[in-house]
Amino acid sequence: MSLRSATLEGLAPDVRTEPIVAWRAWALTGRRDGARLLLRPVAKRARTWQPREIVQASCRTSRRHDAPDPLCTCGLHATHTIDVLRRTRCPAVLGRVALWGRVVEHEHGYRAQYAYPQRLRLICQFCFWMSDARRSTPDHVGWFPHDELIPVCEEHLAVGRRNGVSPRLVLPASEVIQRLRDAYAVDPLAV
């Protein structure tokens, strides 16, 4: 715990009425026919975000405090910029997310009590790691065991196949993103 973190506890919170909107990435799960699409935090054991339900944070390490606690790492994470998300493990969906309730602001992002996505798009994680969000539009979504869905561009689908990583099934990305937006009732992300 840093001295800075400790002093946060004593500060009067900044009170607002407008939610904060920030960047976030998710993993994606769904059935082999593209049904039952669910946003899943990239941290494997975290709970899925259910469509049309406000997400509330909870702390998995301590039940003695509400999330987010200033001295913990709990809460629903989001970032100030897209670039921070390029270091995320296996992102499949990129989006803007509304945050409210108790929010702890950090140097590069936030931890919030409540959240709900506002705008979503699929990304090819390999293009995203190597360049940026604008150049990471996927053509396909690969279906893998355990209902894991991985959006990929044409080139990276071929690279995967050459290296023995082939999805069991390939779905058109345009169809998956439309279903995902319909399920969560969100708008497209233009970035």
Binding region for another protein (CB under 8 A): 2, 4-5, 8, 11, 13-21, 42, 52, 54, 70, 77, 79, 84-85, 87-88, 96, 98-111, 116-119, 184-187, 189-191
CB 20 to another protein: min, Å: 7
CB 176 to another protein: min, Å: 19
User: What's the start-to-end Cα distance of the chain, in Å?
Assistant: 36
Residue closer to another protein, measured from CB, 84 or 169: 84
Q: Would you say 51 and 184 are in contact if contact means Cβ atoms under 8 Å apart?
A: yes
Q: In angstroms, rounded to a whole number, what is the distance separating the alpha carbons of residues 115 and 41?
A: 12
Could you give the angle at the alpha carbon of 12 between the alpha carbons of 7 and 17, nearest 5°?
130
Neighbour count for residue 189 (Cβ, 10 Å): 20
CB 34 to another protein: min, Å: 21
CB 136 to another protein: min, Å: 16
Residue closer to another protein, measured from CB, 96 or 156: 96
Residue closer to another protein, measured from CB, 18 or 33: 18
Residue closer to another protein, measured from CB, 29 or 79: 79
Q: Would you say 41 and 115 are in contact if contact means Cβ atoms under 8 Å apart?
A: no
Residue closer to another protein, measured from CB, 16 or 146: 16
Which tokens go with 24? Answer: 């976030």
Q: In angstroms, rounded to a whole number, what is the distance separating the alpha carbons of residues 74 and 70?
A: 9
Residue 16 carries which side chain, given as an amino acid letter?
R
CB 125 to another protein: min, Å: 14
